Amino acid sequence: MSTVILDGKATAKAIRRELKKEISTLDYTPTLAVILVGKDPASTVYVSSKEKACKWAGLKSINHHLDASTDSETLRNLIIKLNNDPTVDGILLQLPLPSHMDEESLLMEIIPEKDVDGFHPVNQGKVLLGATKGLIPCTPYGIIELLQRYDINPSGKEAVIVGRSSIVGRPIAALLISLNATVTVCHTKTKDLKFHVSRADLLVIAAGRRNIVDSSWIKKDAVVIDVGIHRLDDGTLTGDIEFDQAHALASAITPVPGGIGPMTIAMLLKNTVLAAKLRRSN
Ligand code: NAP
């Protein structure tokens, strides 16, 4: 059986095309406010990709690029202003914030209805309670959407997730439970990572560490989702696992780049359109 490449780039493009069509039928323009504090190079690239994607699909993005020395109160006041602005549908606070700011409390300031990243405890809580629709955190949402578009049903599968962060590991675990997978979540205190990885029908690796999962551990015909992103010294991007050997064993696998990264941006746009529609239906 030849291995299917789960093409996040092409799938994200298809989603953006669908959104563009949908937006053209609306009598308003869904609007995303993007806040970037400082000039972290990776964040600047992410924000510019998100802004470009919005423009392409017909969403409006309003950019608030603040100096790295901005104090927390100024940022808090900006978020409150955007919460109260009826022309704004979604608010994106690009992380990481400068070290003098408390990310958690500032993220919580965004009202759940405009939390298009899906990080607010209300939106995370809904996912934990079984929601698979709504403002779902973008990266896990992108994983689920990619699986669905390739007709990969997690139901009944042994799903193993490496990583338990609040933006990837925990919400993807909750979503996969809702989709009837049997889920194991691994982390730095997991005793035998190889044991868990080698019995996964569906493996999601989101550790942010290269090669902690040896590709040779992968079960034959597993579906492998590599969320990690690393820039090598020569400038190329790579994921958490060594691709070639994983590709030889898997039935389907995401590439890096071109896998979960573009899907995450597409889901941000999808969440913004959903937030715009929900606000107007209430
Ligand atoms: P994070 O907050 O640093 O969490 C990493 C998780 O991996 C933690 O739960 C950690 O366990 C676990 N881990 C680390 N080393 C491990 C080891 N040796 N064995 C087992 N578990 C280990 O990272 P994150 O924000 O979830 O991001 C993970 C990766 O995904 C990063 O490379 C990030 O750049 C990438 N990412 C990509 C996208 C995208 O759009 N493609 C979006 C978000 C993140 P403990 O909890 O025990 O510390």
DSSP structural state of residue 219: P
Answer for the pair 222, 246: CB distance below 8 angstroms, yes or no: no
CA of 209 to the centre of ligand 1 (A): 7
- Ligand 1: does its nearest atom lie under 6 Å from the Cβ of 211? no
Mean pLDDT of the chain: 97
Structure tokens at 277: 């529609």
Half-sphere exposure of 147 (CA within 13 A, CB side): 24
Angle at 7 between CA 226 and CA 187, to 5 degrees: 10
pLDDT tens per residue, range 93-122 = 999 999 999 999 999 999 999 999 999 999
* Dist. CA 42 → ligand 1 center (Å): 16
**Closest protein CA for atom 1 of ligand 1:** 165
Helices then strands, counting H and E runs in the chain, come out as 10, 11
Taking CA atoms only, the protein residue closest to ligand 1 atom 13 is: 207
Q: Which of 40, 43, 167, 188 best tests ligand 1's pocket when mutated (most atoms within 8 Å of CB)?
A: 188
Tokens representing residue 78 in the block: 């900006």
The pLDDT tens digits of the residues spanning 189-227 come to: 999 999 999 999 999 999 999 999 999 999 999 999 999
Q: Measured between alpha carbons, how far is 216 from 233 in angstroms, rounded to an integer?
A: 25
Choosing from 164, 172, 185, 241 the residue with most ligand 1 atoms within 8 A of its CB, the one to mutate for a pocket test is 164
Upstream peptide bond of 262 is cis (omega within 30 degrees of 0)? no
Q: Is 254 in the pocket of ligand 1 (CB under 6 A)?
A: no
Q: pTM value? A: 0.97
Residue-wise pLDDT for 13-63, tens only, equals 999 999 999 999 999 999 999 999 999 988 999 999 999 999 999 999 999
Residue 282 clears pLDDT 90, i.e. is over it = no
| pLDDT at res. 1 | 73
Residue 187 CB–ligand 1 contact under 6 Å? yes
DSSP symbol at 137: -
Q: What is the per-residue pLDDT across 125-144, written as a single tens digit (0 to 9) for each?
A: 999 999 999 999 999 999 99
